[in-house]
Structure 1
Amino acid sequence: MGDRIGRVCVIGAGVMGAGIAAQVANAGVPVLLLDVAGEGPDRSAIAREAVARMVKAEPAPFMSKQAAGLVEIGNIEDDLTKVALCDWIVEAVVERLDVKQSLYARLETVRRPGSAISSNTSTIPLAKLVEGRSEAFVADFLITHFFNPPRYMRLLEVVSGPKTRPEVAAKVEAFADRAMGKRIVHAKDRPGFIANRIGTYWIQVAVNAAMDLGLTVEEADAIGGRPMGVPKTGIFGLIDLVGLDLMPLLQKSLGSSLAPDDPFHASLRTLQLVEKMIAEGHIGRKGKGGFYRINREKGGVREVIDLVTGEYRPEIKSVPPKGDLAALVATKGKIGEFAWGLLGRTLGYAAALVPEVAEDIVAIDDAMKLGYNWKFGPFELIDQLGTANFVRRLEQEGSAVPALLKLAGERSLYRVENGRRQYFGLDGEYHDIVRSEGVLLLEDIKLGSQPLLKNGSAALWNIGDGVTALEFTGKMNALDSDVMELIAKAIPLVQRHHKALIIYSDARNFSAGANLGFALFAVNIAAWGEIEKLVAAGQQAYKALKYAPFPVVAAPAGMALGGGCEILLHADAVQAHAETYIGLVETGVGLIPAWGGCGEMIDRWTHSGRLPKGPMPSVARIFEIVGTATVSKSAAEARDYLFLRDRDGITMNRDRLLADAKAKALSLAEGYVPPEASQYRLPGASGRVALRFAAERFHRLGLATDYDLIVSDTLAELLSGGSADLLDDVSEAELLALERQGFMARIRDGRSQVRIEHMLETGKPLRN
């Protein structure tokens, strides 16, 4: 069979199983999705309906329409023999031991020897699952615990049994890592494994503490949310997202399997309010609302449940406390009491689970950051509080001090030594954090080096082998004059001493585009010359990158919008993370792209071979994409809009993006020749009339506002070549001049200024 996984079977087409199948398909690998046979004429209706739901779902489990076509559906009565063609079989059926064991007995008769079998369970011990199975089956069996939704949650907890063949586990882990984009965390065969064991306890402690102290939902989420590095949902918002109905199930499952002296039991309470909410269907976002809800009958007002009366009331915004974590827990009154009550118990519990659930603190921190989207893991939070201070406070209140923290004493749990990040182990020594082969992180490089260039918005780093990395560092990686200035300085430096340049950031988002805050400030003081100067500087910087005497590779992840998209369009190549969302969105704030993006899109669509020949088809397609501020929902979908080309690469695992981009840059460096300057044949005045007619049709249908028509007309003038005739060639410089002219016309308009202000205040576009 070899060590390659070329086909996968997922059994169980529920939300989780279907999502796992979709992520396999996103990797470009065929997957067989099976469920029980239906009673009607379509015996595979359950699996078929699951795929149909995913095609329509938002957020989308599939990264592209092509991925959905890789899913073959079936049922376990008629199609179970097809698992013999599969290299990995993932069981994701109901969490009942008898059901799983019955399925395994059937699988044993049809699977191919050596194929991997795994369960997606989060509650049943591996030893129980394989009872009664043959030695060969046990040797090929492991647990692969995905988190929901499988496309977007990067954590995969892997549990191997004492008899699991290492080569089988390695094969599954390699596929899940490189093809499915997961970071593997090795967990031990204990109830709840790592993330759910700690996460469920954390949620229970938070709810109990909020009720005991008389906090409101908003107050608890403000204290226990962003100040602690928890997602903006906060704790009660997270319960709504996951579903209140899952809380009793997780509590029962863990409560029945943990040792009687486990602190988890002390956190268990019967909460009448929660029972009432579940009974009435207030189970969160998937129901009629939960702790939060949107009251449609009152015009979409956001409401919050009162933890005392159980009645809904309008939400009262609560401002998160300021200051560091140590100051937060030291705050007098219920704010500090809640913060310490939550952190003291949760972090102490996590520390006590080493080595019960994992061998080291890194695995636990990774599990909580990736599985629950915490910004910091439990042990990173302890370091923020100070290990000695944390232990001292536990002792003062009479709480047990975990052995790991006693051993650490005054020492931190993480440190940087000789440019390497290290963690504190149970042997009392520090150990290097070792990355997997093929993983390269800029945060690691920074520990042992200084930037080659740096200013307030960008930095240039040497990442080895003659390759440099340009990093944006402003808020949301916004682009401003500092970025353009650093690009201008970086090009001659790279040319003299290096082989290639990568544009990359470890941040969640590549770039949200130009710094609109600066633009609005400049508008308010009528600094039109400064605005035009920034537009010109951006054009010069991007064209300098395009025509640099060395290859430039962009490596985006997350949002790459506006100017962030335009810099991708000027790169020789792109190596994008699969979860990259790309678009020219300027029309949403009443502007047009002005850093060369339209010209690059014209060049791509004209030579793509996807449209009929002639200037009008490509220009019309770009007018539609840019005029509607289209954003791709994945890197794969970005190819549909030619934000990415077929030759651009896609990396599934975020941790591998920089290494993949570096490899691409080095492959281009040998014998590199810059591209030739572009010339455009545009449709002229007649083309502009046709584009205007299309925009007016949208306006008549109510899909465009009056001001949208004006913005689209400016875009149409640019794309049609301004005053150029159909027979004229338009140079790159002439098109850039049209961009500047159109951009300045629109930013001087008060209606664009209102749109910009609204976007800065709300993060949402205004339709005026």
Structure 2
Amino acid sequence: MSQDTISKVCVIGAGTMGAGIAAQVANAGVPVLLLDIVPEDGANRSAIAEGAVARMLKTEPAPFMSKAAARLVETGNIEDDLAKVADCDWIIEAVIERLDIKQGLYEKLEALKRPGAAVSSNTSTIPLEKLVEGRSDAFKADFLITHFFNPPRYMRLMEIVTGPATDAGVATRVRLFADVALGKTVVDANDTPGFIANRIGTYWIQLGLNAAFDMGLSVELADAIAGKPMGVPKTGIFGLVDLVGIDLMPHLQASLTSTLAKDDPYQAIARTHPLIEKMIGEGYTGRKGKGGFYRLNKEKGRQKEVIDLASGDYHAADRPAGPRGAAAKGDLRKLVETKGEIGAYAWAVLGGTLAYAARLVPEAAGDVLAVDAAMKLGYNWKMGPFEMIDKLGASWLAERLAAEGQPVPAILTLAGDRPFYRVEDGQREYLGLDGEYHKVPRPEGVLSLADVKLATRPLLRNASAALWDIGDGVVCLEFTGKMNALDGEVMKLIVQALPLVQSQYKALVVYNEGSHFSAGANLGLAMFAVNIAAYSEIEKLVAGGQMAYKGLKYAPFPVVGAPAGMALGGGCEILLHCDAIQAHAELYVGLVECGVGLVPGWGGNGEMLERARNAARMPRGPMPPVAKVFETVSTATVSKSAAQAKELLFLRPDDAITMNRDRLLYDAKHKALALVEGYTPPEPPEFRLPGPSGRTGLAMAAESFHKRGLATDYDLVVSDYLAEVLTGGEADVTDPVSEQELLKLERDAFMKLVHSSRSVARIEHMLETGKPLRN
């Protein structure tokens, strides 16, 4: 699938949103023109756009996936450079939400842009029909709304709104580009205020705020109820408002109350709270201000404090007695039926939100799929509203609403006792507005492992991994443990899979649909083994992992890794042993073992050395590749994107990147199939390593870090063991070091470190806090 029909983009408006959109276009490898107004002083007429790019290069989380992407952004200003839009295939307007300013800009664009070039607005408050008033039919045919979510790099949702005059071909080109190149899930929304996600999200937040004030709940308890137990972000509602900015809420409220129909349920709940007005006035606007509903008190050692909704005073944050048992673990019926204030608040928020969402089909969205996708991707809910309704039961929800005298949305009556989603003949279906079930569609180029699992049984399975037939002679190795951690069961399944794939299939893909590819080795199991002094079992696990990973590397069929999210430690090492990688753009990969007082033990050292010595521009000689790998591994460096993973050598130059997470498995499968014909496994490498003199050089480098306070005492110890492995132990630079000899060196170093009490302390600290111990 190609997005070549859009080869250059212009973004007008270099504020946070516009600049972020431009950065994501550049992340896709597409040139982008970023324009803004000329500043009042006029000394540098393009200062606003230039300043936006400079800020983004320093911002965390980073809008750019690499510094190279930033070079694809051309900056300018509207007065001098607007004529350059003639070279652009898509012009995105992201200026201030004022109709007169937008319409004035469109008048200029109409005279400059070429026919067929798409023009879209990033608005979420102004109807499309008003935006194009006074424009020609030709302009209207090229116009649509593309509503991105902030930050554009990380938020996968893009709502698209077309008008009656929008050309279908233009809309299709934009959809395809946004999907394939920008990595967005494109959801069609109707031209209604707030579209889908923000309309439901704003209603949900307002309900949560109102109910907490009215019921006299503490902020902590409200967030403990309307957070993780509902499958929404653990921030809860008050924490979320702090994150997005408390001062944004009055603007959203004003926008919706001025544009929604007078009988819309939002009108009845929209209200201001004096405490919130006071907080905004005093600069307590959330995380970007002096604090919000939560704050960190610097005078008390950054103690976390929370505001009292009645008095407005801050006090130390407490952990309230929130939902328990099934109610805390996703049983929504149990949650809303809990006696007392927990159940009452849960019902006030959840019941009202779900009823409102149900009311918006078909007003704001054409089907339940659009609503669920919008809330899952726009607000990071684990389940969409209609998936939640299925948990409660549509008829149960309708009966409770009716019993309380509330209107019952028509779609709940249509569903009756039926769910909105079901699985029939191994395929997921949804309930349409015609009262019939329809297959959940998948765009061309999308392959879902979840779909495969509905229709088939695994070829192999144990407690930590499974092997699936994904069609066309390709199988998928899936990790299934918590955080996709790796253990002996994973290694056992790999060993079992090798002869099966060799005899009956063509290729193997290592992939899963968890939030993260793998957090690495199961440290909890390792700690248990240490506590009972089962060191022989640990050594057996290390050797077993080395054998399994080398089995993949030298298998007589192609192996393709398809990671997304975190791929740490052993999760990184399995990728290093693959023939090729098809990575999701948001890949955070690294060998982090030194952070827990260990060294990579599953062959990662040798694979990194091989990559380094083959890297372009690597100086000749045995020492430069070793120094490069030592620097990356000893500091437990993790990439901040797949693009940066190439710079760090975790990915090869010809490894591919998929921008849309939904397309990753399809792309990886086809990469594996492309390698099948004429495939031969690689030859085992032989290394020329610098030996003891090289180890001394690395020790000196580590000591300089120590003197600057960048490395602890124990970091020096761990890095010295790493240096011993990377330099080949006692081998002289003239002696070849085989891959097996290098594996023994790393195995010996790993076992020596795992006996150390200071390494054990690091492992325990990581398990308890999720953070490295700097001992």
Instruction: Place the TM-score, normalised by the shorter chain, in its bin.
Output: over 0.9
Q: Residue 164 of structure 2 aligns with which residue?
A: 162
Structure 2 CA distance for aligned equivalents of residues 674 and 628 of structure 1: 32
Query: How big is each residue's C-alpha offset from its partner over 1:434-474, in whole Å with a ceiling of 9 and x where there is no partner?
Result: 11000111011111111111111100000000000000011
The SS at the match of 2:572 is: helix
Q: Residue 396 of structure 1 aligns with which residue?
A: 403
Q: 2:391 aligns with which of 345, 360, 384?
A: 384
1:487 and 2:504 equivalent?
no
Q: Residue 559 of structure 1 aligns with which residue?
A: 566
Query: How big is each residue's C-alpha offset from its partner over 1:46-96, in whole Å with a ceiling of 9 and x where there is no partner?
Result: 000000000000000000010000000000001010001101000000001
Q: Residue 632 of structure 2 aligns with which residue?
A: 625
Q: Residue 29 of structure 1 aligns with which residue?
A: 30
The SS at the match of 2:560 is: strand
Q: Residue 703 of structure 1 aligns with which residue?
A: 710
- Contact kept, 8 Å, 1:569 with 1:601, in 2: the verdict is yes
Q: TM-score, normalised by structure 1?
A: 0.99
Q: Residue 139 of structure 1 aligns with which residue?
A: 141
> Within 5 A, what are the aligned runs for 1:166-315?
166-315=168-317
Paired letter, 1:18: A
Structure 2 CA distance for aligned equivalents of residues 3 and 397 of structure 1: 55
Q: How far is the alpha carbon of 1:40 from its aligned partner?
A: 2.7
Q: Residue 712 of structure 1 aligns with which residue?
A: 719
Q: Residue 752 of structure 2 aligns with which residue?
A: 745
Q: Residue 478 of structure 1 aligns with which residue?
A: 485
Paired letter, 2:650: F
Structure 1 CA distance for aligned equivalents of residues 694 and 321 of structure 2: 53
Which runs of 4 or more aligned residues in structure 1 lie more than 3 Å from their structure 2 counterparts after TM superposition?
Answer: none
Query: How big is each residue's C-alpha offset from its partner over 1:524-579, in whole Å with a ceiling of 9 and x where there is no partner?
Result: 11111111111111100000000001000000000000000001100000000000
The SS at the match of 1:518 is: helix
Paired letter, 1:622: V
Structure 1 CA distance for aligned equivalents of residues 358 and 272 of structure 2: 27
Structure 2 CA distance for aligned equivalents of residues 182 and 69 of structure 1: 22
Q: 1:676 aligns with which of 676, 683, 690?
A: 683
Q: How far is the alpha carbon of 1:585 from its aligned partner?
A: 0.4
Q: 1:436 aligns with which of 443, 449, 458?
A: 443
- Contact kept, 8 Å, 1:227 with 1:320, in 2: the verdict is no
Please, which moves more after superposition, 637-646 or 382-391?
382-391
Paired letter, 1:409: G
Structure 1 CA distance for aligned equivalents of residues 431 and 768 of structure 2: 43
The SS at the match of 2:647 is: coil
Paired letter, 2:460: L
Structure 2 CA distance for aligned equivalents of residues 476 and 3 of structure 1: 37
- Contact kept, 8 Å, 2:322 with 2:342, in 1: the verdict is no
- Contact kept, 8 Å, 2:590 with 2:639, in 1: the verdict is yes
Q: Residue 572 of structure 1 aligns with which residue?
A: 579
Query: How big is each residue's C-alpha offset from its partner over 1:649-706, in whole Å with a ceiling of 9 and x where there is no partner?
Result: 0000000000000010000011110111111111000000000011111111111111
Q: 1:722 aligns with which of 726, 729, 754?
A: 729
Structure 2 CA distance for aligned equivalents of residues 164 and 188 of structure 1: 13
Q: Residue 455 of structure 1 aligns with which residue?
A: 462
Unaligned segments of structure 1, at least 5 residues: none
Query: How big is each residue's C-alpha offset from its partner over 1:200-254, in whole Å with a ceiling of 9 and x where there is no partner?
Result: 0000001111122221111111111111111121111111111001100000000
Paired letter, 1:32: L
- Contact kept, 8 Å, 2:690 with 2:732, in 1: the verdict is yes
Please, which moves more after superposition, 12-21 or 719-728?
719-728
Structure 2 CA distance for aligned equivalents of residues 188 and 423 of structure 1: 20
Q: Residue 538 of structure 1 aligns with which residue?
A: 545
Structure 1 CA distance for aligned equivalents of residues 536 and 186 of structure 2: 52
Structure 1 CA distance for aligned equivalents of residues 756 and 212 of structure 2: 49
Structure 1 CA distance for aligned equivalents of residues 492 and 563 of structure 2: 21
> Within 5 A, what are the aligned runs for 1:321-332?
321=323, 322-323=325-326, 324-332=331-339
Q: How far is the alpha carbon of 1:320 from its aligned partner?
A: 4.8
The SS at the match of 1:639 is: helix
Q: Residue 6 of structure 1 aligns with which residue?
A: 7
Structure 1 CA distance for aligned equivalents of residues 214 and 530 of structure 2: 51
Q: 2:153 aligns with which of 130, 151, 154?
A: 151
Paired letter, 1:439: V
1:650 and 2:664 equivalent?
no
Q: 1:370 aligns with which of 377, 395, 402?
A: 377
Distance 1:320 1:468, change over 3 A: farther
Q: Residue 667 of structure 1 aligns with which residue?
A: 674
Please, which moves more after superposition, 147-156 or 673-682?
673-682
Distance 1:444 1:314, change over 3 A: same
Paired letter, 1:37: V
Q: 2:363 aligns with which of 330, 353, 356?
A: 356
Structure 2 CA distance for aligned equivalents of residues 159 and 298 of structure 1: 49
The SS at the match of 2:746 is: helix
Structure 1 CA distance for aligned equivalents of residues 544 and 399 of structure 2: 56
Structure 2 CA distance for aligned equivalents of residues 320 and 135 of structure 1: 57
Q: Residue 767 of structure 2 aligns with which residue?
A: 760
Query: How big is each residue's C-alpha offset from its partner over 1:287-317, in whole Å with a ceiling of 9 and x where there is no partner?
Result: 1111111111211111111111111111112
Q: How far is the alpha carbon of 1:3 from its aligned partner?
A: 6.9
The SS at the match of 2:434 is: coil
Q: How far is the alpha carbon of 1:109 from its aligned partner?
A: 1.1
Structure 1 CA distance for aligned equivalents of residues 13 and 179 of structure 2: 22
Query: How big is each residue's C-alpha offset from its partner over 1:737-756, in whole Å with a ceiling of 9 and x where there is no partner?
Result: 11111111111111111111
Structure 2 CA distance for aligned equivalents of residues 320 and 447 of structure 1: 35
Q: Residue 70 of structure 2 aligns with which residue?
A: 68
Structure 2 CA distance for aligned equivalents of residues 329 and 193 of structure 1: 28
Distance 1:639 1:410, change over 3 A: same
Structure 2 CA distance for aligned equivalents of residues 728 and 191 of structure 1: 72
The SS at the match of 2:618 is: coil
Q: 1:89 aligns with which of 76, 88, 91?
A: 91
Q: TM-score, normalised by structure 2?
A: 0.98
Structure 1 CA distance for aligned equivalents of residues 664 and 761 of structure 2: 38
Structure 1 CA distance for aligned equivalents of residues 496 and 398 of structure 2: 49
Q: How far is the alpha carbon of 1:389 from its aligned partner?
A: 1.5
Q: 2:420 aligns with which of 413, 438, 441?
A: 413
Structure 2 CA distance for aligned equivalents of residues 494 and 3 of structure 1: 36
Q: How far is the alpha carbon of 1:609 from its aligned partner?
A: 3.0
1:109 and 2:111 equivalent?
yes
Distance 1:320 1:620, change over 3 A: farther
Paired letter, 2:726: L
1:635 and 2:611 equivalent?
no
Structure 2 CA distance for aligned equivalents of residues 268 and 588 of structure 1: 49
Unaligned segments of structure 2, at least 5 residues: none
Query: How big is each residue's C-alpha offset from its partner over 1:391-421, in whole Å with a ceiling of 9 and x where there is no partner?
Result: 1211111111110001111111100001110
Paired letter, 1:478: A
The SS at the match of 1:102 is: helix
The SS at the match of 1:303 is: strand
The SS at the match of 1:56 is: coil
Instruction: Give the share of equivalent positions with the same residue, in percent.
Output: 69
Distance 1:498 1:755, change over 3 A: same
- Contact kept, 8 Å, 1:3 with 1:171, in 2: the verdict is no
Structure 2 CA distance for aligned equivalents of residues 396 and 496 of structure 1: 62
Please, which moves more after superposition, 426-435 or 554-563?
426-435
Structure 2 CA distance for aligned equivalents of residues 4 and 468 of structure 1: 34
Matched pairs, number: 767
The SS at the match of 1:142 is: strand
- Contact kept, 8 Å, 1:159 with 1:186, in 2: the verdict is yes
